[in-house]
Structure 1
Amino acid sequence: MVLKIGTIGTSWITEQFIEAILASSAYDLGAIYTRDASKAAVINEKFGTKAAAFTDLDAFFASDIDVVYIASPNALHYRQVLQAIENDKHVIVEKPAVITPTQFEMVYSKLREHPNVRFFEAARHIHQPNFKKIAEQIKQMDRIQGATFVYNKYSSRFDAFLAGKNPNVFNPDFAGGAIEDLGIYPVYAAVALFGLPQDCQYFATKLSNGADGRGTAILRYADFDVTLIFGKNSNSYLASEIYGLEDSIVIDNIAELNSVLYHRNPTEAEQIADLPHENPMLAEVMVFAEIINNFDAHSEEYQKLLMLSQRVNNVVYQLRQTAALSFPADQEK
């Protein structure tokens, strides 16, 4: 079944998502919610689609779409996710899906009330074939002794912040900052590959408005530590690594996964990555469509993804607490 999808948000990430769903042939773009209807017209012209434009969110959710893709500011995700589920729409929401464990529990509660609805957090990198190759290589290593995951990328909105503006991605009122954006990629990788840590600590470098511009997190496991380095106000070209004994895995970028080298020893290395698709969202949208359309065959996979999202939410929230990072939206229940 081709799924009719509606989008919330008109940023570059929404356009990349639309490119992915059209490339997959598993979805049709049926509706666009935006406060400015002219933006929907631009998207339709760019992609050759005929999606209906909505400036009223209630009318959007009442339309005949099957799936909602949510790419609004972080602080708006929670209420929009609940409204989608209440309207029996499947949900694909950009990370962070929600920002507190209490909110995640409410999402679980709503899903129980609407058992035919599927809920996905769009952590694209964990669905890519090269991430699965990393997971398989780890299983073959005799011992894991730690890892360092790096994702530092200078935000296109940081110049505006430096000029005195307060863009959403750096605004605590919208749950902005490094850990709730780029930081989620390395947290997802760590929890997906190694499970829940026993303890964690986040050393945040805060901006003048109280948001974290960058930081370093330590996840403590029984036998090793995982160090996460991430930020939105600088660039880094350091590789990410997983340490074995004499062997190690070296990843060019924990979010992009273009290169994955398995070093058996200091002189012998093998490239285990395949050339990724030009659109990094293609793998995830195909996984989501397969689960929705063939749920009985993929119910276990779905439950694992749901549990992983909840675990990541818990870890990110704990990290924020250790760094005294709070948002007004934390109080929403």
Structure 2
Amino acid sequence: MIKLGVIGTSWITKMFIEAAQKTTAYELSKIYSRTIERGENFLSTLSTNDVSIVTTLSDLYTNIDAVYIASPNALHFEQAKAAIEAGINVIVEKPAFSNPTEFAIIEELLASHPDVRFFEAARHVHQSNFKIIEQTMGELTQLQGATFVYQKYSSRYDAYLAGDEPNVLTREFSGGALYDLGVYPLYAAISLFGTPRAVQYLPTLLRNGADGKGTANLFFDDYNVTLLFGKSANSYLPSEIYGLKETIVISNIAELEEVKYYDGEGNADTISEKVADNPMIKEAQDFADIINDPVAQHEHYNQWFQLAKQVNQTLFDLRQSAGIVFPADELQN
């Protein structure tokens, strides 16, 4: 049983805990929170009570096997670094780190701790419907790119409009649309199409210099992939992958509830499977399989690590193209 500690007390942490428990591979051991009261309030929403609430990383990183990190983006690096130094496996919510400098430091640290595994929690690429999309793409007559859409009005945007500065919408915490919802279509694009030869990001900036929404263009030799994402408006457009005459239509590139294949005559066939109630179960199981048997699962681990590394680099390149600078970039220089 993997003794699990968590950082963060939001809905996504609760979802991962429930997913981990459903795999039966994990045992929730500790919750890290800034205050005991906040941690206890979060614990009261869970179906387990035999859990310690801690307020320091040193207490968290004692007698656990893995930590799930779902704090604000800018805090991921130091928290993951401390975990690896303590010999703890790391599962960090996307995006893992603010820039390639941070990623390189973590990669070097992992090399000196060969028994520790690092994972970026991009849940959709682990789901069965994503594998179906990947397989169907291989059957297209000629691949001609894609348009991926993930735009959802943020629950924190009203606070921003009222004059507040929510962490998720500030550069100080490595936030904004690209480093939140934009990670989903970007992860899908790089996983399915590979590394683009060039990128361009056209953001709509907020008053604080962070991006509220935007369009990212990924340029490949024979086609382009366009990503539309944002936190300041809602979109109900599906995502599409283009063959010659065929098209794969995805209801939501992050949730993957329904996937349809349209042949050259416009006839549609639903090719997706029913999604699990909790979309994080598959990634939690994949991570547990690697932690429990790293030798047998080395190929999968290396594949996901390299994918995370490339996504991190492309996020940075897109930001650079738009002139968006995070304080974390300056701190690492």
Please tell me the TM-score bracket, short chain as reference: over 0.9
Letter in 2 for 1:117: V
Residues in 1 aligned to 2:148 and 2:4: alpha-carbon distance in whole angstroms: 34
In structure 2, the residue matched to 1:52 is: 52
Query: CA contact under 8 A between 1:75 and 1:175: conserved in structure 2?
Result: yes
What corresponds to 1:131 in structure 2? 130
Q: Identify the residue that residue 98 of structure 2 maps to in structure 1.
A: 99
Distance apart, 1:140 and its partner CA: 1.1
Structure 2 partner of 1:150 = 149
Query: Residue 299 of structure 2 aligns with which residue?
Result: 300
Q: Number of aligned pairs?
A: 331
* SS, match of residue 228 in structure 1: strand
Write the distance in 2 (CA, Å) between the matches of 1:44 and 1:58: 20
Aligned to 1:258: 257
- Give deviations 1:227-264, integer Å, cap 9, x for gaps: 00000010000000000011010000000000000111
Aligned-partner SS, 1:332: helix
Kept in 2, the 8 Å contact 1:85–1:111? The answer is yes
Amino acid at match of 1:58: S
SS of 2:187's equivalent in the other structure is helix
Report the Cα distance in structure 2 between the residues aligned to 1:47 and 1:24, rounded to whole angstroms: 16
Which stretch shows the higher mean deviation, 14-23 or 39-48? 39-48
Structure 2, unpaired ranges of 5+:
none
Deviations along 1:129-175, one digit per CA (max 9) or x if unpaired, are 00010000011112111100000000000000000000000011101
> Shift of the alpha carbon at 1:270?
1.0
1:99, CA displacement in angstroms?
Answer: 1.3
Which amino acid in the other structure matches residue 92 of structure 1?
Answer: I
Q: Which residue of 2 aligns with 1:176?
A: 175
Q: Distance in 2 between the 1:117 and 1:221 partners?
A: 35
Deviations 1:277-304 (A, max 9, x none): 0111111000000111111111011001
Q: Is the 8 A contact 1:14 1:71 kept in 2?
A: yes
Aligned partners of 1:103 and 1:332 also within 8 Å? no
Q: Post-superposition shift, 1:265?
A: 2.1
Runs of 4+ in 1 over 4 A off after TM superposition: none
**Is residue 2:114 matched to residue 1:115?**
yes
Matches within 5 A, 1:159-174: 159-174=158-173
Residue 122 of structure 2 aligns with an amino acid whose one-letter code is: A
- Rounded Cα–Cα distance in structure 2 between residues aligned with 1:36 and 1:151: 34
Q: 2: CA distance between counterparts of 1:169 and 1:132?
A: 30
Distance 1:186 1:42 in 2: 33
**How well do the aligned residues superpose, as a CA RMSD in angstroms?**
0.9
Task: Tell me by how many angstroms 1:179 deviates.
Answer: 0.3
Is 1:19 the counterpart of 2:25? The answer is no
SS in 2 for 1:30: strand
Could you state the TM-score of these two structures normalised by the residue count of structure 2?
0.98
User: Structure 1: which 5+ residue stretches go unaligned?
Assistant: none
1:167-208 CA distance string (max 9 Å, x none)? 000011101100000000011000000100000000000001
**In 1, Cα distance between equivalents of 2:18 and 2:331:** 33
Match of 2:187?
188
Separation (CA, whole Å) in 2 of partners of 1:102 and 1:329:
10
Give the Cα separation in 2 of the matches to 1:163 and 1:16: 29
Question: Does 199-208 or 18-27 show the bigger shift?
Answer: 18-27
1:225 alignment partner in structure 2 = 224
Aligned-pair CA distance for 1:268? 1.6
Distance 2:259 2:189 in 1: 16
Q: 3-state SS of the aligned residue for 1:76? A: helix
